[in-house]
Amino acid sequence: MTQKFDVVVIGAGPGGYVAAIKAAQLGLTTACIEKYTDKEGKLALGGTCLNVGCIPSKALLDSSWKFHEAQDGFKIHGISHSGVSMDVPAMVGRKANIVKNLTSGVATLFKANGVTSIQGHGKLLLGKKVEVTKPDGSVEVIEAENVILAPGSRPIDIPPAPVDQNVIVDSTGALEFQSVPKRLGVIGAGVIGLELGSVWSRLGAQVTVLEALDTFLMAADTAVSKEALKTLTKQGLDIKLGARVTGSKVNGEEVVVTYTDANGEQTITFDKLIVAVGRRPVTTDLLAADSGVEIDERGFIQVDDFCATTVPGVYAIGDVVRGMMLAHKASEEGIVVVERIKGHKAQMNYDLIPSVIYTHPEIAWVGKTEQALKAEGVEVNVGTFPFAASGRAMAANDTGGFVKVIADAKTDRVLGVHVIGPSAAELVQQGAIGMEFGTSAEDLGMMVFSHPTLSEALHEAALAVNGGAIHVANRKKR
């Protein structure tokens, strides 16, 4: 007998598994299909984020930063030691345990909420039927009232540097190094490249980042990107802008990379090379030819503002649709879709999706940049506050960076919050909450912030928008 569900989700990443749980919570019979398996051959829920993306990279970032602090940052606190060393396999093993705990946690949540977990490859057929190819090759077809496509994305391959997962690796392979490469190359100065480059640089690798664009962190506010480039360079990352990789040749356990820059053709040799030039949507064998779901020329599934595809009752969320490839964006889209399936008028604000780069200092922002607003002809007032003037940051010996608040000059409504510095992600989220409710800089300035906290930097930056900062000289006078 053919199984029938109210909702069938293809993909158990942060978009898919959240959608499945939410659907079950709302009383909809729900199945979630996932094919990914771990090294032991067992079904591993959670998608790229939990298995080979957000979570494992943060585990390595935290471990490597603790090692860096132990080496260079304890003396100022009066802590002395005879020396520290890093056990790389143990660090990677800790990362693996975190991943296992979280992915098994998703399985537990499925059981607790009544989600049917199906292992296999899901493919949408005509009439909202889903074909599931099991690991043993057997095929089953299930029926659904509604289908949510959440297959995620995978690293982009580039012909000049074909990945072999040995000398030339993608972001997944870069999480599994068992020793620190002496010379590490990274193609791409985006989020993934900077984070992974930082991990291995802190552990002693000589890291060179090759970025084809002439502009560093183009999506970030200019003031933030300039500060980030200066800081990361000081930390040891050799970031070469305008460096377009044209070829590579693996010689045993090293690779010679050819690239062009303003000075012509260059070559450089690495022990390992990470290709981190972005990600592309996974739609391979996802849709039958007659499914009716349309895909654009870049491989993204076409959807409306509420993630509905061209087929009624079929939705797509996360990395396979327009917008930023972010786990939290995918999760919220999943919730919105399910709420709308139940007849609720749910929606999400795409203008207020925070972005974070987990280097040290962290880099985060929400809303628009100053350069974007000026290009639109919007008059703005800007307030900044350096962490060098924060008592809490001084106490933690973590004073690099600043908070920047941008407000409309006419209405005082906050249009952007940009942070580089300690706990940037958390501070930007505070800004996002306020912006969701239409906060003004004056509103933020009138709120009581606990002392001493890093969040006081957001308070002072908001005050500075209108020339009222207390703990730093004001650029604008009242």
pLDDT tens profile 269-303:
999 999 999 999 999 999 999 999 999 999 999 99
What percent of the chain lies above the pLDDT cut of 70? 99
Alpha-carbon gap, residue 235 to 229, rounded angstroms: 10
CATH of domain 168-277: 3.50.50.60
| Amino acid present at 171 | S
Catalytic residue among 77, 360, 418, 451: 451
The torsion angles phi and psi of 197, rounded to 5 degrees, stand at: -60, -40
Residue 98 pLDDT greater than 80, yes or no: yes
Q: Is 111 left (phi over 0), alpha (psi -120 to 50) or beta?
A: alpha
Query: What pLDDT does 478 receive?
Result: 61
Residue 69 pLDDT greater than 70, yes or no: yes
- What does the pLDDT average to over 106-117? 98
Query: What pLDDT does 321 receive?
Result: 98
Query: What pLDDT does 148 receive?
Result: 98
> Which pLDDT tens digit goes with each residue over 431-469?
999 999 999 999 999 999 999 999 999 999 999 999 999
Tokens of 2: 């053919």
Alpha-carbon gap, residue 95 to 97, rounded angstroms: 5
Active site residue 121: no
Q: In the CATH scheme, what is the homologous superfamily, with its name and number, of domain 4-154+280-350?
A: FAD/NAD(P)-binding domain (3.50.50.60)
274 SS3 class: strand
Query: What pLDDT does 477 receive?
Result: 64
| Amino acid present at 415 | L
Residue 476 pLDDT greater than 80, yes or no: no
Per-residue pLDDT band at 325 (split at 50, 70, 90):
very high
**What's the maximum distance between 2 C-alpha atoms anywhere in the chain?**
75
> Which pLDDT tens digit goes with each residue over 430-439?
999 999 999 9
DSSP 102-167: HHHHHHHHHHHHTPEEEESEEEE-TTSEEEEE-TTS-EEEEEEEEEEE---EEEPP-TTS---SSS
Alpha-carbon gap, residue 233 to 2, rounded angstroms: 59
365 forms beta bridges with 355, 418
Domain boundaries, the chain: 4-154+280-350, 168-277, 361-465
Show the 3-state SS of 18-84: HHHHHHHHCCCCEEEEECCECCCCCECCCHHHHHHCHHHHHHHHHHHHHHHHHHHCCHHHCCCCCCC
Per-residue pLDDT band at 475 (split at 50, 70, 90):
confident
H-helix segments, 306-385:
327-341, 370-375
- What does the pLDDT average to over 150-175? 98
Query: What pLDDT does 83 receive?
Result: 86
The answer to whether the 4-154+280-350 and 168-277 domains have the same CATH topology is yes
**Rg of the Cα atoms in the chain:** 24
Q: With the CA atoms of 255, 256, 260 and 263 taken in that order, what torsion angle do they form, in degrees rounded to the nearest 10?
A: 130
- What does the pLDDT average to over 383-399? 98
Residue 178 pLDDT greater than 90, yes or no: yes
Please, are residues 212 and 343 in contact by the beta-carbon 8 Å criterion? no
Alpha-carbon gap, residue 89 to 77, rounded angstroms: 29
- What does the pLDDT average to over 104-133? 98
- What does the pLDDT average to over 92-107? 98
Alpha-carbon gap, residue 105 to 473, rounded angstroms: 49
Sign of CA dihedral 176, 182, 186, 190: positive
> Which pLDDT tens digit goes with each residue over 328-369?
999 999 999 999 999 999 999 999 999 999 999 999 999 999
Q: Is 113 left (phi over 0), alpha (psi -120 to 50) or beta?
A: alpha
Q: Tell me which of 3.30.420.130, 3.30.390.30, 3.30.70.80, 3.40.50.10860 is the CATH number of domain 361-465.
A: 3.30.390.30
Average model confidence (pLDDT) across the chain? 97
- What does the pLDDT average to over 197-215? 98
Alpha-carbon gap, residue 445 to 440, rounded angstroms: 9
Query: Pairing state of beta strands 129-133 and 139-149?
Result: antiparallel
367 forms beta bridges with 416
Per-residue pLDDT band at 10 (split at 50, 70, 90):
very high
Alpha-carbon gap, residue 199 to 181, rounded angstroms: 11
313 SS3 class: coil
Burial class of residue 81, CB neighbours in 10 A (0-12, 13-18, 19+):
exposed
Burial class of residue 295, CB neighbours in 10 A (0-12, 13-18, 19+):
middle
Q: Say which residue the tokens 């029926």 belong to.
A: 143
Q: CA angle 423-433-225, nearest 5°?
A: 45
Q: Say which residue, 476 or 53, is predicted with more confidence.
A: 53
- What does the pLDDT average to over 4-26? 98
